[in-house]
Amino acid sequence: MTPNTPIFPQGASTYSTEVDILFYVYLGLAAFFTVAIFGLVTVFAVKYRRKKATDVGVEPQGHATVIEVTWTVLPLILMLGAAIWGLKIYVQQLTPPPNAKEYYVVGKQWMWKIEHPDGRREINELHVPKGEDIKLKMTSEDVIHSFFIPAFRIKVDAVPGRYNTMWFNAAKTGTYHLFCAEYCGVDHARMIGRVVVMEPHEYQEWLSGTKVRAATATGEELFVAKACNTCHRPDSSARAPILNGIFGKEVALLGGKTIVADDEYIRESILNPGAKVVSGYQPIMPTFKGQLSEEEIIQLIKYVRSLSPGADKGVPKTASLAFSSSAEAHP
Ligand code: CUA
Q: Where are the beta strands (DSSP E) in 61-123?
A: 101-108, 111-115, 121-123
Ligand 1 centroid to Cα of residue 60, in Å, is 56
Residue 181, burial from CB neighbour count under 10 angstroms (0-12, 13-18, 19+): middle
Spatial contact of 185 and 213, defined as CB atoms under 8 Å apart: no
228 versus 19: the higher-pLDDT residue is 19
Biggest CA pair distance of the chain = 104
In 3D, which of 94, 115, 147 has the Cα closest to residue 294? 115
Distance (Å, whole) CA 162 – CA 3: 32
Task: Give the model's pLDDT for residue 210.
Answer: 62
Tell me if the pTM is above 0.75. no
What are the residue ranges spanned by the domains of the chain? 16-49+60-93, 101-208, 219-306
CATH of domain 219-306: 1.10.760.10
Q: What is the number of the ligand 1 atom nearest to the C-alpha of 182?
A: 2
Q: For residue 104, which of 281, 253, 294 has the smallest C-alpha distance? A: 294
Are 197 and 170 in contact by the 8 Å Cβ rule? The answer is yes
pLDDT tier at 3, thresholds 50, 70, 90 = low
The answer on pLDDT for 1 being more than 50 is no
CATH architecture of 101-208: Sandwich (2.60)
pLDDT of residue 281: 82
**Residue pLDDT, tens place only, 101-160:** 999 999 999 899 998 888 888 889 999 999 999 999 999 999 999 999 999 999 999 999
Atom nearest to 181 CA in ligand 1: 2
Distance (Å) from CA 145 to ligand 1 centroid: 4
CA 86–ligand 1 middle distance (angstroms): 26
